[in-house]
């Protein structure tokens, strides 16, 4: 039973436009959410995170929004750049249960110039 | 600051053989994780260490997988005997403390192919 779901396997966006990657979760005990970016043959690299007490966190071109009532979060990239082309993983943790991350299956973002 | 190191980067073995992976975390990071990433899936936790003690190994297939972190620094993950379904990328990650509020840093992974 997948606790973190990324229902869109892929997303294609033109350079300069907004990219919106979505993530849904089922476990209401999750209290911390992260986005990781992964290039081929490399490990995932941390991008941005948000605590469950917030509904928005911004870092440069990247913003994560959290809707707890809908158990939904999204990552916005504005403006998108070709170098953003990668696999994006949504991850969550329940710090009362432990610190390991539960990952979604990932969304492959392609940004064309 | 050096990142998480893993070796080998690639390994091909036949089923029923054994294999070992090595991980050296970022200096000073007390918590170390091993994740398994099967093609098309997200990483899944196998085992978590805090210093040289096991915190969580509930998802480790203990009949064939073992892991150790004897001196609280580097770690090895072993599979014996390997099965076809063990083909995956094995990722090591480390972080400074126990809270997930500490960002986990991942190594490049070891890609295992079992024939």
Judging contacts by C-beta atoms under 8 Å, the chain B residues touching residue A107 are none
Cα four-point dihedral sign B26, B29, B33, B38: negative
- In this prediction, residue B96 has a pLDDT band, given cuts at 50, 70 and 90, of confident
- In this prediction, residue B1 has a pLDDT band, given cuts at 50, 70 and 90, of low
Q: What is the pLDDT of residue A4?
A: 97
Angle at A107 between CA A103 and CA A108, to 5 degrees: 135
Of A32, A36, A98, the CB nearest to B101: A32
Q: A41: Cβ–Cβ under 8 A, 6 or more apart, which residues?
A: B108
Q: Looking at residue B41, what DSSP letter applies?
A: S
Other Cβ atoms within 10 Å of B114 Cβ, number: 20
Q: Do A101 and B40 touch (CB under 8 A)?
A: no
Give the percent of chain A with pLDDT over 90.
Answer: 90
Other Cβ atoms within 10 Å of B91 Cβ, number: 27
Phi, psi of B84 (to 5 degrees): -55, -40
The distance of A79 to chain B (nearest Cα, Å) reads: 25
What DSSP string runs through B81-111?
S--GGG-EEEEEEEESSSSTTSPPEE---EE
- Structural contact between residues A8 and B72, judged by C-beta atoms closer than 8 angstroms: no
- Structural contact between residues A87 and B37, judged by C-beta atoms closer than 8 angstroms: no
The distance of A29 to chain B (nearest Cα, Å) reads: 14
Other Cβ atoms within 10 Å of B51 Cβ, number: 12
Q: Which strands, in side-by-side order, build the sheet including A19-25?
A: A4-5, A19-25, A72-77, A62-67, A56-59
Lookup: tokens for A25: 């979760």
Q: What is the pLDDT of residue B99?
A: 57
Of B48, B98, B108, the CB nearest to A41: B108
Instruction: Over range A3-31, report the average pLDDT.
Output: 96
pLDDT digits (tens, 9 = 90+) for A46-82: 999 999 999 999 999 999 999 999 999 999 999 999 9
Instruction: Over range A19-38, report the average pLDDT.
Output: 96
Residue B53 buriedness (CB in 10 A; 0-12 / 13-18 / 19+) = exposed
Rounded-to-integer distance, Cα B101 and Cα A62, Å: 18
The answer, yes or no, to whether residue B97 has pLDDT greater than 80, is: no
The answer, yes or no, to whether residue B20 has pLDDT greater than 90, is: yes
Dihedral angle, C-alpha B109, B18, B61, A1, nearest 10 °? 50
The answer, yes or no, to whether residue A90 has pLDDT greater than 80, is: yes
Q: Do A99 and B108 touch (CB under 8 A)?
A: no
- In this prediction, residue A5 has a pLDDT band, given cuts at 50, 70 and 90, of very high
Q: Do A103 and B98 touch (CB under 8 A)?
A: no
Q: What is the pLDDT of residue A96?
A: 75
Residue with tokens 């249960």: A97
Of B41, B99, B108, the CB nearest to A99: B99
Across all residues in chain B, what is the average pLDDT?
A: 93
The answer, yes or no, to whether residue A99 has pLDDT greater than 90, is: no
Q: A85: Cβ–Cβ under 8 A, 6 or more apart, which residues?
A: A109, A110, A111
């Amino acid at each position: 039973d997948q606790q973190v779901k990324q229902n869109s396997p892929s997303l294609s966006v033109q350079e300069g436009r907004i990219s919106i990657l979505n993530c849904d979760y089922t476990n209401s005990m999750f209290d911390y959410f992260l986005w990781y970016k992964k290039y081929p043959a490399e490990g995932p690299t941390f991008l941005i995170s948000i605590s469950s007490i917030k509904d928005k966190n911004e870092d440069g071109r990247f913003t994560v929004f959290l809707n707890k009532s809908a158990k939904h979060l999204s990552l916005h990239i504005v403006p998108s750049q070709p170098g953003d082309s990668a696999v994006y993983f949504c991850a969550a943790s329940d710090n009362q249960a432990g610190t390991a991350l539960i990952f979604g299956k990932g969304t492959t973002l392609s940004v064309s110039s | 600051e050096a990142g998480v190191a893993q070796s080998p980067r690639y390994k091909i073995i036949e089923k029923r053989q054994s294999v070992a992976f090595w991980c050296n975390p970022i200096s000073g990071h007390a918590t170390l994780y091993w994740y398994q990433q099967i093609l098309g899936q997200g990483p899944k936790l196998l085992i978590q260490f805090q210093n040289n003690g096991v915190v969580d190994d509930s998802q480790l297939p203990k009949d064939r997988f073992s892991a150790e972190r004897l001196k609280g620094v580097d770690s090895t993950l072993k599979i014996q005997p390997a099965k076809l379904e063990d083909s995956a990328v094995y990722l090591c990650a480390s972080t400074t403390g126990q809270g997930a509020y500490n960002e986990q840093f991942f190594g490049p992974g070891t890609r295992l192919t079992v024939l």
